[in-house]
Structure 1
């Protein structure tokens, strides 16, 4: 018997998607569509338009008009606050259907819905959080530095039209992290969801329209990176691009932004290390938690998954045994099954890529402890790879340096604090890190030395009010907290004479 999700599609009442431009739902100009194949079964689930350059132009022009002439950038703080809170409440009320749509999009299991960071509840909290910044971030009045009597003032104003480009792996949180601060600041938006996770995002947009967002403030174009995404990032009337995804695409966005000097925010993934010291409170728990970030829910398809475990030699074997046990406990299959804990890989291209990493790691001398194969039987048509652990990994091996984006953990031994920090920082990435120790001084000292945007001590959590982003090639800018709000504003200086004489 082969796995099928078609009955769930019918239960959810999934409809084919449309573009949303200037307050109206519509097909693409040329009628072209994308058929979404479910990653767990390979079945076609639904279709949505592939936006043409003309469609993208219409969406950007609608956002431009809404910014230049519409009410939203000039709305009172109270209006924005009320709408953002109202939308957050709608998200909470529609949690069940959103999670089911996501399971049809990217096959994240319903059992994972209670994990905070990728949940609908976290997205709602992000909107509530940014509603709180609307009436609290402003400019300054400054004393004259020279010249006559005058007043110097600064203002924070919305940056303009934002192109927000989402990945497929955490649609709720990443929609919120881009859309909430942009709307709070008074920007208008053209949103492009991933072609591998579109239906759940379209429903989030429907709820935002229901909350009362004016026409043209948020527009949605669907389709793959080329032509849809390429047309959006190069459009001359876009003022800022906010993107989460791969380094390769991030570099293209930086190059494309140069012509008009667009503002850019990028979150480009990582190869995050967990550092496990011999005095960790619980070695087994550290191993299972680390392995959980690599296998549960997204099957390692998360930018901040801790896919490098740097483990002190004294506890190395103990860590490996617990990681192997955790890998064997992970279940996968039908995302609507309450007993399923992990997803397949998002498409066949990613499946082949991950299997290639696994094969080359063994050829390079890494020891395969468990996993590395695909299941057969009813799961054979899906993009599944069993949770995989490699031991005796050298930090210069490909498996330790490249973002695999799959359920693969590389375990690397170390002998001293200095060696652990050196290995952790010896990477082109710098998104997240974890430190497991009972010594508060060591925890603080090591955390400060790590070149990573977020460091967790004996655990790791993303929260709406904390800035999140990376050092080095993990990106530019931060999402979350005040820094995210300010990233959607421009700082303006105004000088006004207070006497009749010119300054």
Structure 2
């Protein structure tokens, strides 16, 4: 029997999505809607409003008014902290409901929500963490450089209106990593979720309002990049754009920001290496690397370790274990606890991944496992089997370009210097993994890698750690104090304390 999501949709009680402008939920100005098709079945699941340029203008002006005239930027520390902690509590309370909505959005298995980085819990922790910065991220006092009795201090003030643009693959974490520090700093926000994961984000916003956030502080415009996203990133009243997504869109945002010199934070993907030395726990390394490109999101994650650089002495063992992990993946109904991996998000991505697999074979890589679209009962969905390539040259297309699918490319190396050279031979620099039992080597290699986040013998997202990349993996960091400060402007104030100095 062919897979269907309709019963799950009806059980969840999915409702059509609306725009949120100045505290009011409403349809788009021209009544146009987006029909969401589930990636596992291509069935119509629901509809939501597509914001026009005029709708975006209204949302930005509502955020501008809330910033210039509203209570949130001028609220006390206690008021802001209480709202953010109430929201964290509501997230934990509604975790199962939110995971069900996400499964209807992007087809990610509900069981994957038990993994911390993909969970509702991590979003709650991020909000709790940033609530803690509200009374701590103050300014400084400086002694008079030229002498004399004077007061020189700095203040941190909210940056203004933020355009927060989310991807579809990790909306809980990215919602929190953008709105957590923005709201903690006192900013107002116009939020655009991905058109492929809007229903779960709309529910997050409902809970945020329930927590007591004032009207107009967060506004939501749903829809695709054209017209909705383009209208948002080019709006002159937006002070900062925070974006997670593709390099192509990231470059367009940089271009659009030039006119008004908007502040920009972006995370734009990666081609992260997993460096496996001969003394490593090879089964752990192989399971981790293959797992990041198969389990849960099926490799549709920016931080996935999609290149495995493996020492020749343990190369065959690594391939054997990775092949076993790939063959273990189970696909199907995301509400089924036995299902471990998701479909690709849409038909365009399905064709793109299959094209990369074909390219890998044409360029001479050895296909060990997978490489095919799943058929039978899953034939209506966008499923691709977990794919393993061996004997990959680091110059091959599948080793250089972000595939965003369940494909692991394994490249052999002979010594430490070669491993580092191969790891850094990329336009990206988001993350990396180092697998070794030698502590000195682990830190020595980590220091030489051109990447923003390094995992030693594993990888984990932490809500209080900076996350972001080098080179074309983006600009800025999310998480920790650096993220909070990225939503503030630094102001210097100087005053003589005696009349003689005036």
- Coarse TM-score class (shorter-chain normalised): over 0.9
Report how far residue 146 of structure 1 moved.
2.0
Residues in 2 aligned to 1:89 and 1:96: alpha-carbon distance in whole angstroms: 13
Residues in 2 aligned to 1:501 and 1:44: alpha-carbon distance in whole angstroms: 76
Residues in 2 aligned to 1:290 and 1:370: alpha-carbon distance in whole angstroms: 15
Residues in 2 aligned to 1:155 and 1:105: alpha-carbon distance in whole angstroms: 41
Matched, 1:152 2:152: yes
Give the corresponding residue for 2:494: 495
Report how far residue 149 of structure 1 moved.
2.9
Alpha-carbon deviations, 1:11-56, whole Å to 9, x = none? 0000000001111100000000000000000000000011001000
Residues in 2 aligned to 1:137 and 1:442: alpha-carbon distance in whole angstroms: 36
Secondary structure of the equivalent of 1:59?
helix
Report how far residue 289 of structure 1 moved.
1.1
Give the corresponding residue for 1:451: 450
Matches within 5 A, 1:63-462: 63-146=63-146, 148-280=148-280, 282-462=281-461
Residues in 1 aligned to 2:277 and 2:143: alpha-carbon distance in whole angstroms: 52
Alpha-carbon deviations, 1:216-258, whole Å to 9, x = none? 0000000001110000000000000000000000000001000
Alpha-carbon deviations, 1:140-167, whole Å to 9, x = none? 1111122753211100000000000000
Matched, 1:476 2:441: no
Residues in 2 aligned to 1:223 and 1:370: alpha-carbon distance in whole angstroms: 37
Residues in 1 aligned to 2:374 and 2:30: alpha-carbon distance in whole angstroms: 40
Secondary structure of the equivalent of 2:117?
coil
Secondary structure of the equivalent of 1:412?
strand
TM-score, structure 1 as length reference: 0.99
Residues in 1 aligned to 2:360 and 2:170: alpha-carbon distance in whole angstroms: 28
Report how far residue 285 of structure 1 moved.
1.6
Report how far residue 375 of structure 1 moved.
1.3
TM-score, structure 2 as length reference: 0.99
Report how far residue 344 of structure 1 moved.
0.3
Residues in 2 aligned to 1:170 and 1:496: alpha-carbon distance in whole angstroms: 47
Secondary structure of the equivalent of 1:493?
strand
Q: After alignment, is 79-88 or 146-155 more displaced?
A: 146-155
Report how far residue 85 of structure 1 moved.
0.6
Secondary structure of the equivalent of 1:231?
helix
Residues in 1 aligned to 2:475 and 2:115: alpha-carbon distance in whole angstroms: 27
Deviating beyond 4 angstroms after TM superposition, the runs of 4 or more aligned structure 1 residues are: none
Residues in 1 aligned to 2:154 and 2:375: alpha-carbon distance in whole angstroms: 63
Report how far residue 358 of structure 1 moved.
0.3
Residues in 2 aligned to 1:103 and 1:142: alpha-carbon distance in whole angstroms: 52
Residues in 2 aligned to 1:153 and 1:441: alpha-carbon distance in whole angstroms: 42
Residues in 1 aligned to 2:101 and 2:370: alpha-carbon distance in whole angstroms: 29
Residues in 1 aligned to 2:43 and 2:459: alpha-carbon distance in whole angstroms: 35
Alpha-carbon deviations, 1:63-105, whole Å to 9, x = none? 0000011100000111111110110000000000000000000
RMSD: 0.7
Give the corresponding residue for 1:45: 45
Report how far residue 404 of structure 1 moved.
0.1
Report how far residue 123 of structure 1 moved.
0.3
Secondary structure of the equivalent of 2:116?
coil
Q: How many residues align?
A: 502
Residues in 1 aligned to 2:288 and 2:496: alpha-carbon distance in whole angstroms: 61
Secondary structure of the equivalent of 1:295?
coil
Alpha-carbon deviations, 1:94-144, whole Å to 9, x = none? 000000000000000011110000110000000000000000001011111
Gaps of 5+ in 1: none
Secondary structure of the equivalent of 2:293?
helix
Report how far residue 284 of structure 1 moved.
1.2
Residues in 1 aligned to 2:501 and 2:233: alpha-carbon distance in whole angstroms: 43
Residues in 2 aligned to 1:307 and 1:360: alpha-carbon distance in whole angstroms: 16
Alpha-carbon deviations, 1:398-449, whole Å to 9, x = none? 0000000000000000000000000000000000000000001110100111
Secondary structure of the equivalent of 2:321?
helix
Residues in 2 aligned to 1:65 and 1:496: alpha-carbon distance in whole angstroms: 31
Alpha-carbon deviations, 1:235-287, whole Å to 9, x = none? 0000000000000000000010000000000000000000000100x211210
Alpha-carbon deviations, 1:459-495, whole Å to 9, x = none? 1001000000001100000000000000000000011
Residues in 1 aligned to 2:232 and 2:395: alpha-carbon distance in whole angstroms: 37
Residues in 2 aligned to 1:26 and 1:387: alpha-carbon distance in whole angstroms: 42
Residues in 2 aligned to 1:275 and 1:416: alpha-carbon distance in whole angstroms: 11
Alpha-carbon deviations, 1:160-182, whole Å to 9, x = none? 00000000000100000000000
Report how far residue 500 of structure 1 moved.
2.0
Residues in 2 aligned to 1:375 and 1:54: alpha-carbon distance in whole angstroms: 43
